[in-house]
């Protein structure tokens, strides 16, 4: 019954599936991104306190959300790779890391651009900002550690272990605005209870969060396909796929 699940660990099978699902994630995500951006930049009314400047939230919040979610996904995938020795899981984590680091950088930069008009300063060493910066360093550490090994399986396992150790930073980022009195505002979207943001500003935000997650999914599938080809370039199925013999091309 679980054969379909177990087959996912096979590189050629995953390569094929990712090629099929990739466009199904990419094009809807682009459409939803366009709708969400239109809703956020044009349809949503200006904020009574912040004016038009609040619209950077529509880039900042999805990026920040993705930066932590991608790291959590990397930690889970790395743990799967370490426990069940599934190389493809490590390939997925390796492919996700640069995307996650980019979203973290975007979150930090858009936060800085938003902070200047709103708080009067580009940066403040408060818990939320600092722990997000630490997340960026952890991403860089993951990628550097991976790059410093020549043997791929050693690189996988060492960086996988680092990803699992670094996951302790995520609760700190998430709860930092609740535990400490931080300059960064508290959560506007709660799991229970009504959100503290008006509906016509909320729907583009939720749509953009969903759309960027789909976009990340599409990017991840394409990157994993490339990573799989790179790792398995000597294997038979890759050569059959591209009709090449070793040494040619």
Q: Is 221 helix (H, G, I), strand (E, B) or coil?
A: helix
Please identify which residue in 158, 189, 202, 229 interacts with other proteins, judged by CB under 8 A: 158
Shorter beta-carbon distance to other proteins: residue 164 or 197: 164
Minimum CB separation from other proteins for residue 141, in Å?
4
> Of 169 and 239, which CB lies nearer to other proteins in the complex structure?
169
Say whether residue 180 binds other proteins (CB under 8 A). Answer: no
Interacting residue with other proteins among 34, 41, 165, 178 (CB under 8 A): 165
Contact flag: residue 161 with other proteins (CB under 8 A):
yes
Establish if 162 lies at the interface with other proteins (CB under 8 A): yes
Q: Report whether 200 contacts 133 (CB < 8 A).
A: no
Give me 154's structure tokens.
Answer: 């050693």
The dihedral formed by the CA atoms of 48, 53, 56 and 60, expressed in degrees to the nearest 10: -70
**Phi, psi dihedral angles at 248 (to 5 degrees):** -90, 155
Binding of other proteins by 157 (CB under 8 A):
yes
Residue 67 burial (C-beta neighbours within 10 Å; 0-12, 13-18, 19+):
buried
CA distances from 229 to 146, 159, 207, 241 (A): 18, 20, 33, 10
Q: Does 113 bind other proteins (CB under 8 A)?
A: no
Residue from the set 6, 7, 116, 154 that interacts with other proteins by CB under 8 A: 154
The binding site for other proteins (CB under 8 A) comprises 82, 130, 134, 137-138, 140-141, 144-145, 148-149, 153-154, 157-158, 161-162, 164-166, 168-169, 172
């Amino acid at each position: 019954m679980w054969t379909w699940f177990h087959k996912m660990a096979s590189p050629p099978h995953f390569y094929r599936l990712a090629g099929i699902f990739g466009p199904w994630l990419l094009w809807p995500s682009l459409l939803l991104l366009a709708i969400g951006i239109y809703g956020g930049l044009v349809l949503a009314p200006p904020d009574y306190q912040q004016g038009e400047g609040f619209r950077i939230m529509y880039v900042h919040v999805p990026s920040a959300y993705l930066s932590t979610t991608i790291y959590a996904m990397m930690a889970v995938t790395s743990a799967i790779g370490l426990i069940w020795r599934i190389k493809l899981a490590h390939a997925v984590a390796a492919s996700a890391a640069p995307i996650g680091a980019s979203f973290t950088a975007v979150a930090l930069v858009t936060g800085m651009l938003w902070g200047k008009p709103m708080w009067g300063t580009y940066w403040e060493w408060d818990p939320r900002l600092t722990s997000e910066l630490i997340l960026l360093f952890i991403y860089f550490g993951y990628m550097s550690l991976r790059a410093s090994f020549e043997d791929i399986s050693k690189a996988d396992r060492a960086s996988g272990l680092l990803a699992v150790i670094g996951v302790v930073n995520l609760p700190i980022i998430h709860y930092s605005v609740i535990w400490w009195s931080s300059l960064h505002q508290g959560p506007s979207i709660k799991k229970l209870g009504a959100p503290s943001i008006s509906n016509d500003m909320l729907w583009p935000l939720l749509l953009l969060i969903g759309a960027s997650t789909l976009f990340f999914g599409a990017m991840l599938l394409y990157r994993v396909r490339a990573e799989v080809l790179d790792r398995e370039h000597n294997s038979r199925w890759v050569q059959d796929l591209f009709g090449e013999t070793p040494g040619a091309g």
